[in-house]
Amino acid sequence: MTRPAFTLKVTIEGKTLFQCLSFFYVSRSHIISLMNLGTYQFYQDEKLLKIDDVVSKGEIKVFINEKIDLYPNNEKIDIAYEDEHYLIVNKKRGDLIHSENSNDTLANKVAGYFQKHHIRRIIRINNRLDIDTEGLVIFSKDLLASSYIDYLIREKKLTKKYYALVHNRFNKKTGEISLPISSDRHNNNKMIVSKNGKKALTRYEVIKNGKMSLVDVTLLTGRTHQIRVHFSYINHPLVGDAIYGQGDGELMLQAYYLSFFQPFLEKMIYVIINLSPDIKRRADDGDR
């Protein structure tokens, strides 16, 4: 038997395979389909398990038969964190995360990294950033890992923080912005604050207050363009924002922090990157 992709611990007697897998919030129909195709196979004591087989305490060996599904681009990526299940990459401003019309995307570069390191897996992207935003993007290396992260995001159990450089001085050093957001029916590329929109909540703390202010932002919801819309609405548009302000397109926004419970390691993971040199430079220039 070839080497398994990874193993799962079983600590309680009497559970079925699916009960063990349901911890990762996978769809029963999806996992059955993949098992029938032979894409995912689960073994215990050399026995191939079916979805409703009862498993014993010990380990389940997980075998994965996948292929990289995107064209590999060998350009180097900036890895902020990696383990057996997750790859977290620091995306550059200007990089598309994924596009059907380009092989020069972050996803293609991750495909190149997977190919180089013999990680034969589908490219699974768990969070998105605008092309003009730099910072942390999560890629999962298997279905269970991806399903679990998707669950954390849905349930707001994954913490995301951003650095934002905005115009104008703040009267208060901390605050929350609770304004519903919807799409702008006059502009498909723009979002607006609207009483008929979806709930959106942003918490912030001012790090540096001035003509240009550096703000530490925590997203409590994940609406499209949420930070840009909220700060523009309260007269603090992001520096460089050409859509919601009067910027030059060099958006000063960085996703610098992620924390989440890693279910396979059974511990919290904290991924933090330094303030972007571009944002620091523009913040320093604002003092002159």
DSSP per position, 116-155 = HTT-----EE-----TT-EEEEEEESSHHHHHHHHHHHHT
Give the ranges where the chain is alpha helix by DSSP (H).
17-21, 28-37, 106-116, 143-154, 226-233, 277-285
Residues 6 or more apart from 21 whose CB is under 8 A from it?
A: 31, 144
Q: Considering 95, 130, 132, 142, which one is annotated as catalytic?
A: 130
Q: End-to-end CA distance of the chain: give it in Å, rounded.
A: 66
Catalytic (active site) residue 78: no
Q: Which of 118, 48, 123, 129 is nearest to 93 (CA)?
A: 129
Burial class (CB in 10 A: 0-12, 13-18, 19+), 77: buried
- Catalytic residue annotation: 130
